[in-house]
């Protein structure tokens, strides 16, 4: 038996959409790469015609390249583990899979083994989120993790002392994988569910909201984040480029969110915002 591997080079704004649709074509495992991602299916258990039609559809919207290769099953685990390396954020937080063995001790250690969901720390946006999370006081705070993926940000929030975390994602495969990561890290204060923010309901407001999603979704949901954020609460967002910051801040200003801090890594950006009822609706 063997695996079919579909290698895609694409803009990260479209990666999650492609993954969701490829999951409907028969692929059941996904792995981030520097230029896009890889999708895996056992044998030929995928609909090639649907895949080709899907790729042609997305090529009308963005630059996209793809290729297929075959991987023998007996080499799968060994190759995957060899290529998926642990990562250290700011020499403080170790992010590793459950099969990694690391002798050095770090103040924080997250065990994140991705399957079909993004969020391992290897992508610049996840790195930025973890880096900046560690500068925010989570102790006793109520946290929302919107579009949680692997639940890496939820696990970090829990380990930073959050009293409770509400995590959710629209994709079933993310919820399944995120639940496994929450369990293996022993985080009992995370409530994890499937759904979209506009379709879910939460009682009360949040001290901290985390959202590492693409620009379009962030712009769509900024008003909801502001609604759920406590006065002077913190919204930490990423998933967009440095040159997108003016657009993000312009939209944020209309829902009384103002900039506290910005950060960047290899042209990707993050923003730390706060909500205040007296904030101006216009940028100076």
Q: What is the pLDDT of residues 24-83, one digit of tens each?
A: 898 877 777 888 999 888 888 899 999 999 999 999 999 999 999 987 765 445 555 556
With helix as H, strand as E and coil as C, how does 141-202 read?
CEEEEECCCCCHHHHHHHHCCCCEEEEEECCHHHHHHHHHHHHHCCCCCEEEEECCHHHCCC
How many residues would you count in the chain? 284
Residue of higher predicted confidence among 95 and 101: 95
pLDDT band at 216 (very low <50, low <70, confident <90, very high): confident
- Sheet holding 190-194: strands in order across? 190-194, 164-169, 142-146, 206-212, 229-241, 268-275, 257-265
Q: What is the pLDDT of residues 245-263, one digit of tens each?
A: 999 999 999 999 999 999 9
pLDDT, residue 168, reads: 96
With helix as H, strand as E and coil as C, how does the chain read?
CEEEEEEEEECHHHHHHHHHHHHCCCCCEEEECCCEEEEEEECCCCCHHHHHHHHHHHHCCCCEEEEEEEEEHHHHHHHHHHHCCCEEECCCEEEECCCCCCCCCCCEEEECCCCCCCCCCCCHHHHHHHHHHCCCCCCCCEEEEECCCCCHHHHHHHHCCCCEEEEEECCHHHHHHHHHHHHHCCCCCEEEEECCHHHCCCCCCEEEEEEECCHHHHHHHHHHHHHHEEEEEEEEEEEEEHHHHHHHHHHHHCCCEEEEEEEEECCEEEEEEEECCCCCCCCC
Strand partners, 145: 167, 210
Enumerate the domain spans of the chain.
Answer: 2-81, 84-275
pLDDT band at 281 (very low <50, low <70, confident <90, very high): very low
* Architecture of the structural domain at 2-81: 2-Layer Sandwich (3.30)
pLDDT band at 283 (very low <50, low <70, confident <90, very high): very low
Q: What is the pLDDT of residues 159-213, one digit of tens each?
A: 999 999 999 998 887 888 899 999 999 999 999 999 999 999 999 999 999 999 8
pLDDT, residue 120, reads: 60
- Over the range 193-210, which residues count as b (16 or more CB within 10 Å of their CB) and which as e? ebeebeeeeeeeebbbbb
What's the rounded Cα separation, in Å, for the pair 152 and 172? 16
Contacts of 214 (CB under 8 A, 6+ apart): 12, 13, 16, 239, 240
The domain 84-275 is placed in CATH, from the list 3.30.420.10, 3.40.50.300, 3.40.50.150, 3.30.465.10, at: 3.40.50.150
């Amino acid at each position: 038996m063997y695996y079919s591997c579909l290698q895609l080079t694409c803009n990260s704004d479209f990666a999650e959409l492609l993954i969701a649709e490829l999951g409907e074509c028969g692929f059941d495992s996904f792995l981030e790469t520097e230029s896009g991602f890889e999708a895996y299916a056992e044998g030929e258990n995928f609909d090639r015609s649907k895949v080709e039609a899907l790729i042609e559809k997305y090529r009308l919207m963005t630059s996209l390249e793809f290729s297929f290769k075959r991987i023998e099953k007996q080499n799968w685990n060994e190759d995957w583990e060899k290529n998926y390396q642990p990562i250290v954020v700011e020499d403080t937080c170790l992010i590793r899979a459950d099969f990694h063995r690391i002798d050095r001790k770090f103040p924080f250690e997250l065990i994140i083994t991705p399957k079909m969901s993004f969020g391992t720390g290897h992508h610049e946006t996840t790195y930025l989120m973890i880096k900046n999370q560690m500068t925010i006081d989570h102790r006793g705070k109520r946290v929302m993790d919107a579009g949680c993926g692997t639940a890496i940000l939820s696990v970090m929030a829990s380990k930073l002392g959050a009293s409770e975390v509400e995590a959710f994602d629209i994709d079933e495969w993310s919820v399944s994988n995120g639940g496994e990561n929450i369990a293996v890290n022993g985080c009992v204060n995370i409530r994890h569910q499937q759904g979209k923010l506009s379709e879910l309901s939460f009682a009360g407001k949040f001290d901290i909201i985390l959202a590492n999603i693409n620009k379009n979704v962030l712009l769509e949901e900024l008003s909801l984040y502001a609604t759920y954020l406590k006065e002077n609460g913190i919204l930490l967002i990423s998933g967009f480029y440095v040159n997108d910051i003016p657009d993000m801040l312009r939209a944020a200003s209309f829902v009384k969110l103002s900039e506290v801090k910005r950060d960047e890594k290899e042209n990707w950006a993050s923003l730390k915002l706060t909500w205040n009822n007296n904030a101006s609706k216009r940028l100076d």
